[in-house]
Structure 1
């Protein structure tokens, strides 16, 4: 279902975020996030050639790549800025190597904000870390599930209770994984 019909309007800004998950020949995974911001109008930029960024040219164009194992441990990290509004911007990219050694797991977002918020990072690169982490999870999901099943014999879906649709009491779980379905009881204790 599409969004409702909007009030008459004109486009001013576009942000495109694209993420990719690649399985490497060595069994590790490269996860990449790329962002491009453009304006539909010329933008005054003090440090841009002639002081003006023409409409349609990238104001921000930035990428992050992490390498993870199947436990979602970050083994390597790299960030680059191809387009940025100020000459100093790329000098923070090297700091994103601090992702190395982190694990994409509960607390990841909090930890990345501690490391890269405010003057310790770039707002735009920090914003890419959420979609990057989700892409890592989505890219490796099936393989991690197979490994878990082979090692433990468990077949419980790792996404169980990960969101509203996959709550143990949801109709989707009842239909697809009935052995894990748990009826939701109301406040009186009945279903």
Structure 2
């Protein structure tokens, strides 16, 4: 297939354990172009490979995924005013990165309230934190007092569908035959 790359967006998400016992999830977004690009209001072209956006967002969370701190940095932006958006993350402190997180983020930081790219990163950052904390959750889910966790996991995604093999093997009592209605 003949094709020419015009734009490259890199998104890097990482999860860390801090010495304090808290965790940090970091999202970074970098946009580059393969050819010179004239940004709006710019007096010269941006050379190929030079970041147009280089934005990092940091969230410090606990093991319940409650946000204790939120901050951002912008090493490259299309406008000189953009770094002002790094000061818009304070409303995230105290929120839980659980059900409703993306909705809350859009309500608090959507549109002109913050940076579109920061908002874009915050959704996958929540799933990265969820995956980062997965070993602890998985260690608890099969303990005798964790039936509610097991029930909540069933039908939470394709693999954990009640009629599929994963549920049949892990929790036969929660398995539902594909031909048996609820």
Normalized against structure 2, the TM-score is what?
A: 0.88
Match of 2:121 in 1: 128
Q: Contact 1:33/1:64 (CA < 8 Å) preserved in 2?
A: yes
Match of 1:81 in 2: 74
Q: Distance in 1 between matches of 2:137 and 2:35?
A: 46
Residue 179 of structure 1: CA displacement?
3.3
Residue 47 of structure 1: CA displacement?
5.1
Task: Give CA deviations for 1:148-187 in whole Å, capped at 9, x if unaligned.
Answer: 666x72165464322112112222222333233122446x
Match of 1:153 in 2: 145
Residue segments in structure 2 that go unaligned for 5+ positions in a row: none
Matched, 1:95 2:96: no
State how many pairs are aligned.
Answer: 180
Task: Give CA deviations for 1:71-93 in whole Å, capped at 9, x if unaligned.
Answer: 11111111111100000001011
Match of 1:17 in 2: 11
**CA RMSD between the two structures:** 2.2
**Equivalent of 1:142 in 119, 132, 135:** 135
Q: Contact 2:101/2:123 (CA < 8 Å) preserved in 1?
A: no
Report the secondary structure of 1:44's partner residue: coil
Task: Give CA deviations for 1:20-45 in whole Å, capped at 9, x if unaligned.
Answer: 11112222111111111110110112
Task: Give CA deviations for 1:92-115 in whole Å, capped at 9, x if unaligned.
Answer: 111112211110111111010011
Q: Distance in 2 between matches of 1:51 and 1:90?
A: 20
Residue segments in structure 1 that go unaligned for 5+ positions in a row: 1-6
Q: Distance in 1 between matches of 2:171 and 2:55?
A: 41
Q: Distance in 2 between matches of 1:108 and 1:46?
A: 33
Match of 2:106 in 1: 113
Would the alpha carbon gap of residues 185 and 121 (structure 1) be closer, same or farther in structure 2, given more than 3 Å must change?
A: farther
Q: Distance in 2 between matches of 1:178 and 1:47?
A: 62
